[in-house]
Amino acid sequence: MSEKISRRKIITAGLATAAGVSGLAAKIADRYGLLAPDSGRVFGAGEALTYGAQRLLMSHHSMAREFNRSEMSRQTTVNHEHPDDDDYEGFLERHFSDWRLVVEGLVARPSSFSLEDLKGMPSRSQITMLTCEEGWSFIAEWIGVPLAHVLSLVFPNSGAKWVVFYPFDDFWGSIDMPEALHPQTLLSYGMNGKDLSPDHGAPIRLRIPRQLGYKNLKFLNRISVTDDIKKIGDGNGSAAPEIGYSWYAGI
């Protein structure tokens, strides 16, 4: 762990020095797809370098740690309860029987899937840690369908670079394709042997154990694939930068 951190620091420092000298690092980072969407902001240069350094260090297949059953937390924590929203409350009352996840954008076959459809797809269970940026965490078992599988059903265009998530609240967000196709990135419908509770994100949430809690978007409604993240919202890739958190939240 400490070895990884020091390697990361060295690379970040290297890129930072290059940036300080010529501003070339950002150009190179952009050229190789290593620039985070919010890199134009105040903390932008640093964010670009963190994201870039992690992308250089980690192959797409480096895995978040998975735990044993005996290491699961006795209690789970909720941060941000389910939305106080008429549409959401309606779906909840009807046990999401008429809810459908819309998957659209730069794809050959825009589709929508019911909760039953999603539960019928190949599933993956993983015992991982959810870590909130506020300083708490818990270990639980999440089950869901790999996002990669759902994407394979809609045929993203070869130019597709980002996957954007729209929940029932305003906390929209996005991830890049390597993260979207990672085997541990799930559209999760169950936690600790039960359906996801509303406060933990029903009907489905993004469960992305390689990134901090706030990237794990709950209460999903729609997913869109795009090649141009700058056109969405204020162009920073998610609602998080608007409240001071970086777009990229790799652990």
Task: List residues binding ligand MTE (CB under 6 A).
Answer: 77-80, 130, 132, 167, 169, 171, 200-201, 213-214, 216-219
- Shortest distance (Å) from residue 28 CB to ligand MTE: 32
Per CB under 5 A, the list member of 44, 213, 237, 250 interacting with Mo ion is 213
Binding at 144: pick from ligand MTE, Mo ion, none (beta carbon under 5-8 Å per type)? none
Nearer to ligand MTE, 81 or 234 (CB): 81
- What's the rounded Cα separation, in Å, for the pair 93 and 99? 11
- Shortest distance (Å) from residue 241 CB to ligand MTE: 14
Q: What angle do CA 244, 102, 117 make, to 5 degrees?
A: 120
Tell me the DSSP string of 226-237: ES-GGGSTTSSS
Nearer to ligand MTE, 51 or 214 (CB): 214
**Cβ–Cβ < 8 Å for 206, 138:** no
- 189 alpha carbon, distance to own chain's centre: 15
Nearer to Mo ion, 80 or 222 (CB): 80
Residue 245, class by beta-carbon neighbours within 10 Å (0-12 exposed, 13-18 middle, 19+ buried)?
Answer: middle
Nearer to ligand MTE, 139 or 150 (CB): 139
- Given the rule CB under 5 A, which of 128-136, 139-147, 219-227, 234-242 is the region that contacts Mo ion? 128-136
Nearer to Mo ion, 77 or 192 (CB): 77
Per CB under 5 A, the list member of 51, 91, 214, 247 interacting with Mo ion is 214
Nearer to ligand MTE, 91 or 171 (CB): 171
Phi and psi dihedrals of 47, rounded to 5?
Answer: -65, -45
**Does 209 participate in binding Mo ion (rule CB under 5 A)?**
no
Per CB under 5 A, the list member of 132, 148, 153, 251 interacting with Mo ion is 132
Sign of CA dihedral 147, 164, 76, 67: positive
Residue with smallest beta-carbon separation from ligand MTE? 213
Other C-beta atoms closer than 10 Å to the C-beta of 60 total 11
**Cβ–Cβ < 8 Å for 15, 29:** yes
Ordered alpha helix ranges (H), 105-182:
115-119, 147-154, 177-180
- Shortest distance (Å) from residue 212 CB to ligand MTE: 7
Strands 100-105 and 220-226: parallel
In the region spanning residues 51 to 110, those forming contacts with Mo ion, defined by CB under 5 A, are 79
- What's the rounded Cα separation, in Å, for the pair 116 and 98? 10
- Given the rule CB under 5 A, which of 84-92, 95-103, 140-148, 213-221 is the region that contacts Mo ion? 213-221
Residues binding Mo ion (CB under 5 A)? 79, 132, 213-214
